[in-house]
Chains A and B, each alone.
Chain A
Amino acid sequence: MYNNNRRIVLDILWIILGLILIGLSIAEVLDSSLYSGMGGALTAVGAVNLARAMRYKKDAGYRERIDTEAGDERNQYIRMKSWAFAGYMAVLLEAAGSVAAAAMGKTQIQLTLYFCLCLLLVLYWASCMIFSRKY
């Protein structure tokens, strides 16, 4: 149910990528603290996820709990509803923000929000088209 091996490979990749970014920052190839911070975050996230994946592999009780939570239909319903609500709120907030930015004369912000709003609406429309054919 839960593709643990793929996750382990991805987690190791995040750790390696994070360490490379930290290394390049220390060697001053990348001259920004942004990259060392990003590298540290990637390494930390990868390490935490790798620890979870290893526990999943070894601890049968933990594995059963994770499998149940991942496959539980109420959890899936809640996740789907949360994404739908988040998308709906993003559209409303971007529309409101775009109008507010226009009123304040912040053209760059207005265009960025407007572009994001249009992108979301196009994605929504495309999803509707695909899902109406599928179901």
Chain B
Amino acid sequence: MKNRIEEIRNQRGIRQEDLARQMQVSRQTISSLENGRYNPSILLAHRIAAYFGMTIEEVFIFDEEE
């Protein structure tokens, strides 16, 4: 599943460490999410979207073919 975490994070000048601290996950988790190596749970996806003040669909791009 693709996502716009890195793009939105860079737009807002948030560091990976700070986003990780806010989401109560490790920086490696944020890095893996941004690289598309790891898909988050619905809870983490919701937390990230809520932190950015967006909907899950605006942050995470669901591709049915994947």
Chain A residues in the interface with B (C-beta under 8 A): 68-69, 71-75, 77
Using known A-B contacts A73-B41, A73-B44, A77-B38, determine if residue A68 contacts B32 with beta carbons closer than 8 Å.
Answer: no
Q: Mark B9-26, 1 if CB is under 8 A from A, else 0.
A: 000000000001100111
Q: How far is the CA of A75 from the CA of B28 in the complex (A)?
A: 9
Contact-size category for B: 10 to 19
Provide the main secondary structure of the chain A interface. Answer: helix
Q: How far is the CA of A98 from the CA of B50 in the complex (A)?
A: 54
Chain A residues contacting B44 (CB-CB under 8 Å) are: 73
Given contacts A69-B26, A72-B24, 12 further A-B contacts (CB under 8 A): A68-B20, A68-B24, A71-B25, A72-B25, A72-B26, A72-B29, A73-B25, A73-B43, A73-B44, A74-B25, A74-B29, A74-B32
Q: Mark B36-52, 1 if CB is under 8 A from A, else 0.
A: 00101101100000000
What residue in chain A is nearest B27 (Cβ atoms)? A68
Q: How far is the CA of A69 from the CA of B21 in the complex (A)?
A: 11
Q: How far is the CA of A74 from the CA of B26 in the complex (A)?
A: 8
Chain B residues contacting A75 (CB-CB under 8 Å) are: 26, 29
B1 to chain A, nearest CB (A): 14
**A71–B32 contact, CB under 8 A?**
no
Q: How far is the CA of A74 from the CA of B32 in the complex (A)?
A: 9
**B25–A68 contact, CB under 8 A?**
yes
Q: How far is the CA of A75 from the CA of B25 in the complex (A)?
A: 9
Chain A residues contacting B29 (CB-CB under 8 Å) are: 72-75
- 4 tightest A-B contacts by CB? A74-B29, A72-B26, A72-B25, A74-B38
**A71–B24 contact, CB under 8 A?**
yes
**10 pairs of residues in contact across A and B, judged by CB atoms under 8 Å:** A68-B21, A69-B26, A72-B29, A73-B29, A73-B41, A73-B43, A74-B25, A74-B28, A74-B38, A77-B38
